[in-house]
Chains A and B, each alone.
Chain A
Amino acid sequence: MTPLLELRAIRYTYATDTCRPGHPRPPALDGVDLQLRTHSRLAILGANGAGKSTLLLHLNGTLRPSSGELLLDGSRFDYSRRGLTTLRQHVGLVLQEPDDQLFAGTVRQDVSFGPLNLGLSEAEASARVEAALEAMDLTTLADLPPHQLSHGQRKRAAIAGALAMRPRLLVLDEPTAGLDPRGIDELAHQLDLLHARGIALVLTTHDIDFAHRWAREVAIVQEGRIVVQGAPDPILGDSRLMHTAGLRLPIALAIRQALAAETTARPVADAV
Chain B
Amino acid sequence: MLRLVDTCACANRWRAHSEAVALFCCGLMLCALLAPPWPGATLVLLTAMIAATAGARVPASAYVRALLLPLGFLATSAVGLCFSLSWADGLHLAYSADGARTAWQAGLRALAAISVTMLFACTVPLPQWLALLRRLRTPEALLDLILLTYRMIFQLDEGLAAILRAQRNRLGYASARRALHSSGLAGGALFIRAIVRSARLERGLAARNYSGRLTVLLAPSATRPRHLLLAAAVPLALALLSWLASHPV
Interface residues of A (CB under 8 A from B): 57, 60, 62, 84-85, 88-89, 92-93, 95, 97, 99-106, 108-110, 112-114, 116-118, 122, 125-126, 129, 143-148, 158, 161-162, 165
Q: How far apart sit A99 and B155, CA to CA, in the bound complex (Å)?
A: 8
CB of A97 to closest CB in B, whole Å: 7
B125 at the interface (CB under 8 A from A): yes
Which residue from A97, A103, A126 sits with its C-beta under 8 Å from B217? Answer: A126
User: Do A147 and B158 have beta carbons less than 8 Å apart?
Assistant: yes
User: Do B219 and A106 have beta carbons less than 8 Å apart?
Assistant: yes
Q: Could you name 5 residue pairs across A and B whose Cβ atoms are closer than 8 Å?
A: A88-B207, A105-B219, A109-B127, A145-B6, A147-B158
Extra 20 A-B pairs, beta carbons < 8 Å, given A88-B208, A106-B219? A85-B209, A88-B209, A92-B207, A100-B197, A101-B208, A104-B151, A104-B214, A105-B150, A105-B151, A105-B216, A113-B215, A113-B216, A116-B215, A117-B208, A117-B209, A125-B217, A129-B217, A143-B219, A146-B151, A147-B154
B205 at the interface (CB under 8 A from A): yes
User: Do A109 and B207 have beta carbons less than 8 Å apart?
Assistant: no
Q: How far apart sit A12 and B197, CA to CA, in the bound complex (Å)?
A: 23
Q: How far apart sit A145 and B128, CA to CA, in the bound complex (Å)?
A: 12
* Residue among B154, B155, B217 having the largest count of chain A Cβ atoms under 10 Å: B217
Taken residue by residue from 151 to 174, chain B's Cβ proximity to chain A (1 for < 8 Å, 0 otherwise) reads as 100110010000000000000000
Q: How far apart sit A89 and B208, CA to CA, in the bound complex (Å)?
A: 8
CB of B42 to closest CB in A, whole Å: 35
Chain B: number of interface residues, binned into ranges: 20 to 34
Q: Which B224-243 residues have C-beta < 8 A from chain A? A: none
Residues of A contacting B214 in the complex (Cβ-Cβ under 8 angstroms): 103-104, 113
CB of B127 to closest CB in A, whole Å: 3
User: Do A105 and B208 have beta carbons less than 8 Å apart?
Assistant: no
CB of A95 to closest CB in B, whole Å: 5
B80 at the interface (CB under 8 A from A): no
Of all chain B residues, the one with the shortest Cβ separation from A118 is B209
B111 at the interface (CB under 8 A from A): no
Residues of A contacting B206 in the complex (Cβ-Cβ under 8 angstroms): 62, 88
Of all chain A residues, the one with the shortest Cβ separation from B157 is A147
CB of B40 to closest CB in A, whole Å: 35
User: Do B10 and A100 have beta carbons less than 8 Å apart?
Assistant: no
* Residue among B201, B203, B204 having the largest count of chain A Cβ atoms under 10 Å: B204
CB of B8 to closest CB in A, whole Å: 12
Of all chain A residues, the one with the shortest Cβ separation from B155 is A99
Residues of B contacting A95 in the complex (Cβ-Cβ under 8 angstroms): 200, 203-204, 207
B53 at the interface (CB under 8 A from A): no
Taken residue by residue from 99 to 124, chain B's Cβ proximity to chain A (1 for < 8 Å, 0 otherwise) reads as 00000000000000000000000000
Q: How far apart sit A89 and B126, CA to CA, in the bound complex (Å)?
A: 29
Taken residue by residue from 70 to 110, chain B's Cβ proximity to chain A (1 for < 8 Å, 0 otherwise) reads as 00000000000000000000000000000000000000000
User: Do B200 and A103 have beta carbons less than 8 Å apart?
Assistant: no
B38 at the interface (CB under 8 A from A): no
Q: Which B1-21 residues have C-beta < 8 A from chain A? A: 6-7, 10
B148 at the interface (CB under 8 A from A): yes
Residues of B contacting A109 in the complex (Cβ-Cβ under 8 angstroms): 127, 216-217, 219
Of all chain A residues, the one with the shortest Cβ separation from B126 is A105
User: Do A99 and B197 have beta carbons less than 8 Å apart?
Assistant: yes
Of all chain A residues, the one with the shortest Cβ separation from B130 is A105
User: Do A162 and B147 have beta carbons less than 8 Å apart?
Assistant: no
User: Do A117 and B210 have beta carbons less than 8 Å apart?
Assistant: yes
CB of B206 to closest CB in A, whole Å: 6
User: Do A117 and B201 have beta carbons less than 8 Å apart?
Assistant: no
Q: How far apart sit A126 and B218, CA to CA, in the bound complex (Å)?
A: 10
User: Do A62 and B207 have beta carbons less than 8 Å apart?
Assistant: yes
Of all chain B residues, the one with the shortest Cβ separation from A93 is B207
Residues of B contacting A97 in the complex (Cβ-Cβ under 8 angstroms): 200
Q: Which B187-212 residues have C-beta < 8 A from chain A? A: 197, 200-201, 203-211
Q: How far apart sit A147 and B200, CA to CA, in the bound complex (Å)?
A: 17
Residues of A contacting B158 in the complex (Cβ-Cβ under 8 angstroms): 147
Which residue from B148, B154, B201, B211 sits with its C-beta under 8 Å from A100? Answer: B201
Q: How far apart sit A148 and B126, CA to CA, in the bound complex (Å)?
A: 13
Q: How far apart sit A113 and B125, CA to CA, in the bound complex (Å)?
A: 19
Given contacts A109-B217, A145-B6, contact A103 B148 (CB under 8 A): yes
* Residue among A62, A88, A103, A165 having the largest count of chain B Cβ atoms under 10 Å: A103
Which residue from A113, A145, A158, A161 sits with its C-beta under 8 Å from B126? Answer: A145
Given contacts A147-B154, A147-B155, contact A114 B10 (CB under 8 A): no
Of all chain B residues, the one with the shortest Cβ separation from A109 is B216
